[in-house]
Amino acid sequence: MTRSRDRRRVRVSLIIWLVISVAVVTSTSCSELQWAKDLRKFDQQDRDDPPPHGGIVFVGSSSIAVWSLELSFPGYPVVNRGLGGSQISHAIHFADRLVFPYEPSVVVLYAGDNDVASGKTPERVIEDYQNFVQTVHGRLPECRIVFISIKPSLARWAVVDQMREANQKVAKFSESDDRLFYADIDTPLIGRDALPRPELYAEDGLHMTVQGYEIWSSVLEPILRIAFGRGHSTDPADSL
């Protein structure tokens, strides 16, 4: 009787292990297929015009992917490796292709927006971000990492409380390590009515207008000046 129960436990354990393994493989395969075109484009860009090592790599979701970084940060050696629709876990999964080849001195991450919208909790967001930090520092121990806070948006206002809770957790975690920085874009995107300023958002109520990105840049540039300035000239133009 005991042996029979033991055999059933083994079979159940094997089934669970197989289900988890298939889920992981399927998720990874789907991620590869979803962004195959983007990844090929990045590979081609690297062949045609290799970015300098030691610069600033931006990763994250579509808010990064559609951002004209060269216009927002003239003089800084910026590399845009955003993947539309991605989450923090994808930034970890693709770090070997999106981060490490450039050996950046600074990584800027905007993610967590799609995470919360897909149902992930603030606790999961901070856990994933901690894993991202660990992944980057495992290969690039001196790299500075900037987390752009999850934006409040008209389209996702229903989950703004969860997003702000996640932001608070990331901000607190960032205080524990002088290689980590937190860029608060929530506050300046909110109007006097305590709601997102509509003129800063595109028609979808989710993505930013040029004016919205001007606010992002005004918040982020002083942080980059400090983060990138460590080990470089304090004048970003001198680093080129």
Going by pLDDT thresholds of 50, 70 and 90, the confidence category of residue 230 is low
- Domain coordinates of the chain in residue numbers? 1-34, 36-239
- Cβ atoms within 10 Å, residue 10: 10
C-beta separation of 166 from 122 below 8 A: yes
Nearest Cα to 90, choosing from 60, 68, 117?
60
Residue 19: predicted pLDDT: 37
Question: CA-based Rg of the chain, rounded to a whole angstrom?
Answer: 20
Give the model confidence (pLDDT) of 199-217 as tens digits.
999 999 999 999 999 999 9
Query: Is the four-CA dihedral 115, 183, 208, 95 of positive or negative sign?
Result: negative
Which region holds residue 231: left if phi is over 0, alpha if psi is between -120 and 50, else beta? left
User: Average per-residue pLDDT in the chain?
Assistant: 88
**What's the predicted TM-score (pTM) here?**
0.83
Residue 5: predicted pLDDT: 58
Give the model confidence (pLDDT) of 65-102 as tens digits.
999 999 999 999 999 999 999 999 999 999 999 999 99
pLDDT of residue 1 exceeding 80:
no
Give the model confidence (pLDDT) of 32-67 as tens digits.
788 899 999 999 999 999 998 999 999 999 999 999
pLDDT of residue 110 exceeding 70:
yes
**Spatial distance between the Cα atoms of 139 and 153, rounded to a whole number of angstroms:** 34
Residue 123: predicted pLDDT: 98
What is the residue whose two structure tokens read 């001195």?
A: 105
Residue 33: predicted pLDDT: 83
Residue 18: predicted pLDDT: 41
* CB-based burial label for 141 (10 Å; 0-12, 13-18, 19+): exposed
Residue 17: predicted pLDDT: 38
**Three-state SS for 208?**
strand
CATH class of domain segment(s) 36-239: alpha beta
Residue 52: predicted pLDDT: 86
CA 140 to chain centre: 17
Nearest Cα to 151, choosing from 75, 97, 204, 229?
204
Amino acid at 179: R
Going by pLDDT thresholds of 50, 70 and 90, the confidence category of residue 2 is low
pLDDT of residue 111 exceeding 60:
yes
Residue 32: predicted pLDDT: 75
